[in-house]
Amino acid sequence: MQLIYNKLKIVIMKKKILLSIVMTFALSWIIAQTLVSTDPQLKNAVLEEYTGIHCQYCPDGHAIAAALLENNPNRAVVIALHQGSFAVPSGSEPDFRTPYGDAYANQTNLSGYPSGTVNRHVFTGGVTGMGRGDWTPSAHEIMQEISPVNVGIMTEYNDVNRELTVHVELYYTSDAAESSNFINVALLQSHIFGPQTGGGAGNNYEHMHMFRDMITGQWGEEVSPTTTGSFIEKTYVYTVPEDFIDVPVIVEDCDIAVFVTETHQEILSGDVVDAIDGTNMFIGNVVVTDDFSIKSGTNAEVTTFNLETESNIEGTEDFVFTLESENAPDDWDAIFIVDGVTYYEPAVISLDGASAEAITVEITPGSSGQLAQYQMKMESNSNPNAPIKYCDFSLISGITDMVVTSTSGPEAVEFEHVYTDGLEVAGCDSYTAVPANLFVEGIDASVFDDVNNIYYNVSWTFPALTLDQIAAAESFMDNGGSFFIGGQDIGWDFMSGASGSHGSAEATEFYEDYLYSNYEDDGSSSNNQLRANEDDDIYSEIPQSSITDPFGGNMYPEVLSARTGAVEVFYYDAAQTKAAVVKVDNGIFRMIYFGIGLEMVGDEDVKNQIIAVTRDWFNELITSEEFNEAMRKLNLGQNFPNPANNSTTISVGQLESAAVINVMDINGKTVLEQKIQRGDTKVELDISNLTSGTYFYHLMIDGNKSETKKLIVK
């Protein structure tokens, strides 16, 4: 890709870099602009991640950074700087450090590793350095702000002489706070394999987004003016070294990140492209014009979303528009309409530059419940390397139970299935799982009227809930919703006041007035048993279970105590001095709070029983006497033999009426039913038609369901 300019060009050799003269244009010269939009754009998040090969928790930071990129295409930049004592190689280990690292780290005032800054912005505590749990919510905050400057990038590479050309365009849509800004151009490299403590891959850990060099020097190159309408264009020609400290530079694995700073601190915005023929050319946009991008729908009725698209390419350009959803049920239908033409498949649509075109999306839910997430994609036919534009919107229909998963770390995502599996086993066919930010959007848009129960999966993430997530949870409960929340260190995070925690007036109010709890102790691995309070009216018959450590030695089952109006329903000790779980029914909402995540409950049947009993309590389907009587009737034994082949025998309590035993596969689908007569004490199941694998079974009698047990077919 050849860069051609009809302008005077002065070339200055300086080390490995050739700098072209800065060209500044008035508004009448905007026709020369090729990459950036002249309309105000949202900021992109730039995460500078401080990491090291001997840092135990850094792989968790890497996972958070990767999720940030995956969940926010074309909206985030990650720069991994190997710096500090954890980055010092030992023996023959590779040295991934950079001479720029210490100066960058010093301006963050970081206090541990991994640490990171998001746009070098001060969020809390007067410093820019943050623990990994704060990266995602901070990035989301930044991405809602309007940037005063738009950043365009284009690259080309000559593999004969390793010459890399980076063309940068800036356009100021408003006055910057500083009269001069700084362009920073960084060389990043991914797919570098080497050692990493805690990575689980030994010396073959894949390092991504590694900072290799700053083409514009430590703090970038100063540019001005920075007033509304200023268009600045620069070209950098850089010879890519063969290696840095004996670590080869593979250009095919490299990216170029460009960002603009005020002084050496605040990053206004930035972007990242491939080092070879990369571009972030702004092709146009497609956006929702409705008040909210999430709506509620009804079975067999059409819900309409109004979108608008505009091309940023001069003249007439063909674009491919594609409407997609990864989780819409098969019995849902979705179409889009442009200029009176209805499209069911991807469509090529011609747009004139700077001319808006309306797109109507019509979605018809079926009987299957879901919070379906849709995406309209916009691609330029003649600019295939330009980033795709995405427009996201969601429709909820037929959902009564919702698992909300924390967005503060990968642990919650990993264990989301514990809650959905439990709901499946409980026979709920109207549940879904959503990230916490989508839960907030739905509460703000008031579209969760049919959602009765929330199961908030915090796991072991920080902050446990952000302030907007706290507000959304409180709003849900204030309107009568039932709320389950589980995760270790929620109390520590909100109430301990320790360094790195996220205490606030809002967090304290939520913990005390909505979770009805006092934080007593951070807990330790000695809290390794979960015992039901035998006097509790709902959970007394739940069997005892071990508490396990799924977090690699980070086991902190918190000790709680119930505030006035609430009760303690599970304990860690037989003496019932260390409470693990608090529940409350205050006449407005029902709430149960676990000081551990359900993923830490060792017995799978107990996990599922907790979900099932909680759901029945939320839905007012069960009282203590009814529950105890039902459990006495449904005394279900473990099948023998287990694993089994062809047949297996299951013991049951002497039945006072006929019953049915149901066998389900791992997806919750019933694969075998067998009736049991009144008075029977055992049943022999013919499993010869079942394929090898894991199954679950329970007993149904008089509308009551027993605990669920596991059956292995070999």
Mean pLDDT of 165-175: 98
Question: Tokens standing for 127?
Answer: 């410093």
Task: Give pTM, 2 decimals.
Answer: 0.83
List, for residues 485-515, the tens digit of each pLDDT value: 999 999 999 999 998 899 999 999 999 999 9
317-353 burial, b for 16+ CB within 10 Å, e for fewer?
Answer: bebebebebeebeeebebebebeeeebeeeeebebee
pLDDT for position 4: 30
As a whole number of angstroms, the distance between CA 24 and CA 22 comes to 6
Mean pLDDT of 165-182: 97
- Residue pair 302/363 in contact (Cβ under 8 Å)? The answer is yes
Burial of 299 (0-12, 13-18, 19+ CB in 10 A): middle
Question: Tokens standing for 343?
Answer: 């499209």
pLDDT for position 156: 98
- Residue pair 403/433 in contact (Cβ under 8 Å)? The answer is yes
Residue 668 has pLDDT above 60, yes or no: yes
CA 459 to chain CA centroid, nearest Å: 13
Closest by CA to 611, choosing from 433, 397, 371, is 433
Strand (E) or helix (H) holding 412: helix 410-414
pLDDT band at residue 626 under the 50/70/90 scheme: low
Delineate the domains of the chain, giving CATH numbers in brackets: 12-274 (2.60.40.10), 284-397 (2.60.40.10), 401-629 (3.40.50.880), 634-713 (2.60.40.3080)
pLDDT band at residue 545 under the 50/70/90 scheme: very high
Mean pLDDT of 3-25: 34
List, for residues 97-110, the tens digit of each pLDDT value: 999 999 999 999 99
Question: Tokens standing for 629?
Answer: 């009587």
pLDDT for position 250: 99
List, for residues 280-320, the tens digit of each pLDDT value: 999 999 999 999 999 999 999 999 999 999 999 999 999 99
With a CB cutoff of 8 Å and minimum separation 6, the contacts of 669 are: none
Length of the chain: 714
List, for residues 628-649, the tens digit of each pLDDT value: 565 555 678 888 898 999 999 9
Pairing between β-strand 559-562 and β-strand 517-521 as defined by DSSP bridges: antiparallel
Mean pLDDT of 10-15: 30
